[in-house]
Structure 1
C-alpha cells in the first residue's frame, strides 16, 4: 500500500508499505481525505513538534475521513462495509478519577500521526488503516467525505 512518510526534517516520501494487519477488535478502512494540520507541517519543516521529535519514520495525518472496508458492530448496531466515516484520532491515556470528564488530558494519551512516544503513533496518510470501533464516527448522508475530514479541526475549535 502507498503511504506518505516523514523521516525527519524536510524529508518526506511516498513509500510502499505492507498493508496493515488489524489487531483483535480492529477494523480496516480506506482513508479518502486527510487534513494537513499544523503539527504535520512542523514535523516536516522542523522534524519535531515541541518535544515530540521524529525518531523513526512517521505517517502523518489525524484529520481523516474514508470508507469502511468491512462491517462492524458497535453497541449492537451493525455498520456495513462501504459506510462513510471519520475517525476520532485519540486513544485516551491513564484514567484519572479527578479528571473523569476530561479524558483528553489524561497522562499517556496518544494521537494518530504523533511522534510523542516510541514507537510513534502512525497516522492516516495511507491507503488502508486499522482502527478501533470506538474511533468510528459515521458521516451523515448529506455531508461529503471531503467536508467530513474537517470534523476533527472543527471539534477542536468548538472545544476551545
Structure 2
C-alpha cells in the first residue's frame, strides 16, 4: 500500500492493478444540478473490492484505469447542487446502481438486470464507474436514501449487502416456517441468515469451512451450523431434505452441497458469484430430483426496505460487523477483510473523529 506525502484535497482508496492499492489524493467533487455531495462516513469492504485489489479484476471485468473502490457506503449530505432540496447534514445511504432506465429490463421493473448497467466501484464499463471509498462522493439526488429516524450510520453501512441478501430471500419465495440450507457464512451468507430470520424461516442450517463465520451465523439467527471440508462432499447434509437452499459461498462445492441438501422438488437460489468459465454442476441430480435453480443478482428497491428493517430491529446485523478501521489504514483493513478466519464485515471509517 502506498500513499501520497502531500496533504490531499480528498482521500480516496483506489486500485491501480493487482496488489496495488493506494490511499491517494483526488480533487473534491462539486455537485451539479440534481446532484448531492455526500461526506462518506463508513464504507464496507466487499468481496468485489478484494478481487480488484488482489487480482486487478472481478470475473471478466478488468481494471483499465485506476478505480476508486467501494459501493457499501453511508454518510451525511455535504452540499446539494442547484435546485436540489436535500438538507446538509442529512444522514443517507447511497444506492450504488446506475441503470439506463430505457432497456426492456428496466421497463419491466428489473433495474438490477439492466442491459446497460453500472455500479459504483466497478470496472464493468469504461471509463470505470468510480466508487465511494473517498471522503466525498457526488451522486444524483435520487440515489441517496435518508436514513430512518434512530438508525445510526454504522449499522446503516451494512444496508447494501443486506439488500443483496434480502433480494435473494425474495427470489426464494415464501420461506415462512421452512427449513433452509445456506452454504457459505461470509458477510453475505450471514446477512442471508438475518434476512431469513426476519422473513419467518423455521429452521436455518448454515455450512462453512471456518468456525469463526459460523459463530457469526449463529449470532444472527442460524438454528444449526455445520463445518465442512473443502472437497465437494455432500455427506454431512445429504439427509437434511431442506425445503430450499441459498448458495452464498460462490464455489462449486457449495452449489453441490445445495443440490444434495434439499428435498426433491425444492428450490436452490444461486447468489454467490462463481469463478469465470464453466462450473461443474450435478445436472442429472437436478433433473431427476426436479429441482429449481434460481439466480439472484444485486437488488433494486430492497434498499429502502432493508433500511427500515434495520431501524426497527428486525435485522440483527451488528454481529456481522467485526472490525472498523480508519480509512488511513485501508491496507490493513483489506488484509483483514480477506481473512475469513479473522473477520466478517470490515468497515472503513472516513471520519476525522470517532463521533457518529
TM above 0.5, yes or no, is yes
Are the counterparts in 1 of residues 76 and 92 from structure 2 also a CA contact under 8 Å?
yes
Given the two structures, how large is their TM-score scaled by the length of structure 2? Answer: 0.42
Given the two structures, how large is their TM-score scaled by the length of structure 1? Answer: 0.91
1:106-154 alpha-carbon deviations (Å, 9 max, x no partner): 1110000001111000001111111101101111231110111111101
Which protein shows a greater Rg?
Answer: 2
Q: Tell me which of 58, 71, 89 is aligned to 1:82.
A: 89
Are the counterparts in 1 of residues 105 and 115 from structure 2 also a CA contact under 8 Å?
no
State the 4+ residue runs in structure 1 displaced beyond 6 angstroms.
Answer: none
Q: Match of 2:208?
A: none
1:157 and 2:165 correspond: yes
User: In 2 relative to 1, CA 98–82 (structure 1 residues): closer, same or farther, beyond 3 Å?
Assistant: closer
Q: Match of 1:51?
A: 60
Q: Where in structure 2 are there 5+ consecutive unaligned residues?
A: 1-9, 169-356
Are the counterparts in 1 of residues 105 and 114 from structure 2 also a CA contact under 8 Å?
no
Q: Which has the higher contact order (CA 8 A, sep 6+)?
A: 1
Q: Match of 2:109?
A: 101
1:131 and 2:139 correspond: yes
The alignment partner of 1:41 has SS state of: helix
The alignment partner of 2:67 has SS state of: coil
1:10-45 alpha-carbon deviations (Å, 9 max, x no partner): 000110111113343211110000010000000001
1:22 and 2:31 correspond: yes
The alignment partner of 1:79 has SS state of: coil
Question: C-alpha root-mean-square deviation of aligned residues, in Å?
Answer: 1.8
TM superposition shift of 1:71 = 4.9
1:62-112 alpha-carbon deviations (Å, 9 max, x no partner): 0000000125777xxx43110100000001134216861211101110000
1:38 and 2:54 correspond: no
Structure richer in helix, relative to its length: 2
